[in-house]
Each structure stands twice: as structure tokens, then as C-alpha cells.
Amino acid sequence: MSASKLARTFTATALCACAMLVYTGANRAHADDIPVIDITAKRFAFSPDRITLKVGKTVKLRLHSEDVTHGFFLRPLKLDEEIPAGETTEVTVTPQAAGTFTTICDHFCGANHGNMNMTIVVE
Amino acid sequence: MKQPDRRSFLKIAGTSLGIGVLYSAYPAALSRGEAGGLFATLGHANGEKVTPFSFVQLSDAHVGFNGPPDPLGTKAFERAVDMINGLPQKPDLVLFTGDLTHDTEDRDVHVQRMKQFQEISKKINVPLIKCVPGEHDAGLDGGALYREFFGESHYSFDHRGVHFVALDNVSRAKPEVGTEQLDWLKKDLARFPKTAPIVVFTHRPLFDLRPDWEWFTSDGDDVMNVLSSYDNVTVLYGHIHRDDEHETGKVHHYAARSLIFAFPDPNGAAGPRKPVPFDKDHPFKNLGIRTVSFNGKAQPNAQSLSVQDIELTAREFRGINGVQQILREPGV
């Protein structure tokens, strides 16, 4: 291998390493800075059934279905998520106004679907 | 030729029985002797002339449901059938706006419920019954079983010059119509002039009535954008188990009561939705009563739809003026 080729290889390797460091750092910062709230959907309730958020503070909602497909709908927070059966859906939300809101499952899931909801309080 | 306008085009007068709403449709111009060219235009557009008729809207029988809000099962539905058969003015058709049956994951049980719905509804002395599904009919299987029993879940037909459109906003499990059906709707309406009388019947409200109670259709605005091109549109729906009326632009929306139990006023109730408790002394109470009277006289900005309501408990209040004028004893 010529000296110039060796130099190019070294430079490319170094750039890749730097890029990986930057990427890893971003993920870490993302994971560190944004709180995660886990919410489980299972016919016919969400657990927990009440969470509290802060105005202007971004959070990630990690939604998991333990049985069938559910929805997660709250117009004022622009939440309209589908939670496929047995899977996890993530959504990031930054509330803009305080209030107490009812989030519903809007994917019909059975007889008591109409009662499947939870409360999100924004302070 | 005098051009038809909204006021002279169609008037619908009706009587809500708690079991639903009886609508009478007739061309306003008929009463003023202006029928000539107007009806020729309608006949050309719809394939037939506009002539007077009435129809009934029923909703939310939930056949198979039996629980605390209504332990009487199909009693209200059966009572409704009797009352319709007792109407002095025979309706031409019945529109059923969804939740014919209550859902179950046992297919055989759901089959039995749909058969029971058909057995009861066929006792209505009416030439035509048209249905759309509710989420309890079609939400779990995408409407497969419903279609086996009742055919397509969205379609249209003409009757005496009025164009009826059945919209399905439940079979996709979420409260939505979907792009495919929207495209179909545009094509279906394309042949009509903007003055054509159009009745849309569907299950969920096509506007945001109470989203936190799932009383909305997520792409309802897209539907309304299509309908807003027309001057004489009435939307009939169910789902909310109570009577309600609403306007979006030129479009009038009317909800019918259910045949099983009532929900409270969405404007006054905070928090989650809860049924109105069953009253054993007045088992059909809370199906509500509403009288809306748009007398149909040609007035500036007058609405073209008139509804008069009578509660399903009408027989409990036979002395009240008006009730006996409309009803006779069921079964007589």
C-alpha cells in the first residue's frame, strides 16, 4: 500500500470513527434529555390511567399493546397513534397549554372499547 | 324556466318518535304551484321526479346487548316497530344508522344477533329498509359479517328524486371514512347539480361533536368539503344515543336516539362518557324528546328540514296534545 493510499485509508477510518462518536453521542443525549413514559394498552384500559406532563417540556410516550390493536387519540395534543397488537409505538409530545385531557382508544377493540381511556394532566 | 333554489327545492318535515325520526320530503314549490320546470330539472338529474314521501330513521338497536343501562334487550326495538306500523302516514323507507347489533368475538353468536335483527326489522310494514353499519357491527372484523347479511356498507340510491348516500365510517376500526370511499363519494355525486336534494346517512357524526367520547370522524372535514358543494344536504347519523342537531355551513346534521339506552348531553357532561341510568318505572324514558319545527314556509334563510319529536314513551302520555294525532295503539 502506498503512503498516500495509507493516509486516505487512515483519514476515512478516522472520519467514520468520529461520525460514530457523534451519532452515539446524539442518541445518548436524546435518551438522557427526553423523559420516557411507558403506557400499556390492554382491553379495556390504559396503565397507568393518569399521567402528568409539563407545559413546554417534551416527553416520549412509549405505548405498548399487550393484546389487540389499540388507538391512542387526543386531539388537543395532536396525538393520533395506532398501537398494533403486541407491539410498541413511540411518540414525542410537547404540550403547549395546561389542562386535563381524556385520551381515548379510537381503534375499536371490543365490547367495552367505549370506556377505554386515560387522563393526561398538563401543568 | 325558473331556477330551483334551496328554499323551494325540498322540505322535510318529520316526527322523531324516540325510536327515530319520521321525515316527510316534499318539494316546496308543489304547494305554491311552481312545479313545472323545477321538477323536470330534478327528474332529469335524479332519474325520477321529486314527489312527496316520508321515511323513518332508526338507530342503535344493539341487538344482543343486555346490561345495566337497559336490561330489556330488544323491547325498545320491538316497540319501535309497532309504533312505525301504527303511523297514519306510511313511510316509504326506513334508514337504520348503525349498531344494529352488539359486538361479540364469537362469530356464531354475532350471526344469531344479525338474524334476530333481521327477524325484528322485517316486521316493519315498509317497502324498503336501508342500513349502514356501526362499530359494534363491523369494528372487529372489518365489516365482513355485516356485508354477508346486509350487503355493501357504502352505496347510494335515488328515491322519488332524493339522492340517498350511505357512508361507512366504522369498518376501518377507527372513526374514519378513508380515501377510497371519499373518491367514490366524489364520483357518486358528480352527476348531480348543486341544488340536488341529498340525504347522507352514516353512523358516527361527521364533525367534532365530542372527540374525547369518540363522537367524531377523523376525516369528516374531507367529507364535508365534498358535500359543501351542494345546497341541500342533510346528514342523519346515530352513535351518540341521543337527538342532536348541528350545522356545518349549509349542511344540517341530525342524530337519532338509540333503541337501547341514552347518553347524556355532551355539552353539559364532564369527564368520561357514561350511559344514562336505567329507570325501571319508565323503561323507555331517557330516549329523549325533541320537537324541532321548521315549518317549511318559504322564508329568507329558512331551513329545508323540519323535525317534530315524540318520545318512545308516547303511550305513557296519551293525553298530551299532538301525540294521539300521530300515533294509534301499536298493533291495532
B173-195 average pLDDT score: 96
Chain B environment of A85 (Cβ under 8 Å): none
**Residue B326 has what pLDDT?**
38
> What percentage of chain B reaches a pLDDT higher than 70?
70
Distances (CA, A) of B220 to A37, A75, B155: 31, 14, 17
Is A117 in Cβ contact with B135 (below 8 Å)? Answer: no
Chain B environment of A113 (Cβ under 8 Å): 135, 139
Residue of B nearest to A103 (CA): B212
Chain B environment of A104 (Cβ under 8 Å): 211-214
Residue of A nearest to B239 (CA): A114
Distances (CA, A) of B332 to B85, B175, B327: 9, 42, 11
Domain ranges of chain A: 1-33, 34-122
Reported as a single tens digit per residue, the pLDDT across B272-324 is 788 888 888 778 866 532 333 333 333 333 344 555 555 666 554 344 433 34
B80-91 average pLDDT score: 83
**Residue B276 has what pLDDT?**
85
Picking from B102, B105, B212, the nearest residue to A102 by CB comes out as B212
User: Which run of H or E residues covers position A80?
Assistant: strand A79-83
DSSP string, A20-60: HHHHHHHHHHHHHHS-EEEEEEETTEEESSEEEE-TT--EE
Q: Binning pLDDT at 50, 70 and 90, where does residue B25 land?
A: low
A28-56 average pLDDT score: 88
Chain A environment of B272 (Cβ under 8 Å): 102, 115, 117
Instruction: Spell out which chain A residues touch chain B, with contact meaning CB-CB distance below 8 angstroms.
Output: 69, 71, 73-75, 80, 82, 101-104, 106-108, 110-111, 113-115, 117
**Residue B306 has what pLDDT?**
56
Is A69 in Cβ contact with B212 (below 8 Å)? Answer: no
A3-32 average pLDDT score: 45
Is A110 in Cβ contact with B174 (below 8 Å)? Answer: no
A34-122: CATH, from 3.40.640.10, 2.60.40.420, 3.30.1300.10, 3.30.499.10: 2.60.40.420
Report the C-alpha gap between B84 and B122 in whole angstroms: 12
| Spatial contact of B307 and B14, defined as CB atoms under 8 Å apart | yes
Name which CATH class applies to B6-326.
alpha beta
Give the count of Cβ contacts less than 8 A between chain A and B: 47
Is B273 in Cβ contact with A114 (below 8 Å)? Answer: yes
Is B103 in Cβ contact with A110 (below 8 Å)? Answer: yes
Domain ranges of chain B: 6-326
Q: Binning pLDDT at 50, 70 and 90, where does residue B8 land?
A: very low
B109 touches chain A (CB under 8 A): no
**Residue B14 has what pLDDT?**
44
Instruction: Indicate the average pLDDT of chain B.
Output: 78
**Residue A32 has what pLDDT?**
59
B238 touches chain A (CB under 8 A): no
pLDDT at position B271 over 90: no
pLDDT at position B50 over 80: no
B272 touches chain A (CB under 8 A): yes
**Residue B149 has what pLDDT?**
98
Write the ipTM: 0.76
Please tell me the pTM assigned to this model.
Answer: 0.80
**Residue B67 has what pLDDT?**
81
B58-84 average pLDDT score: 87
Report the C-alpha gap between B190 and B196 in whole angstroms: 11
B8-31 average pLDDT score: 48
Q: What is the 3-state secondary structure (H, E, C) of B228-256?
A: CCCCEEEEEECCCCCCEEEEECCEEEEEC
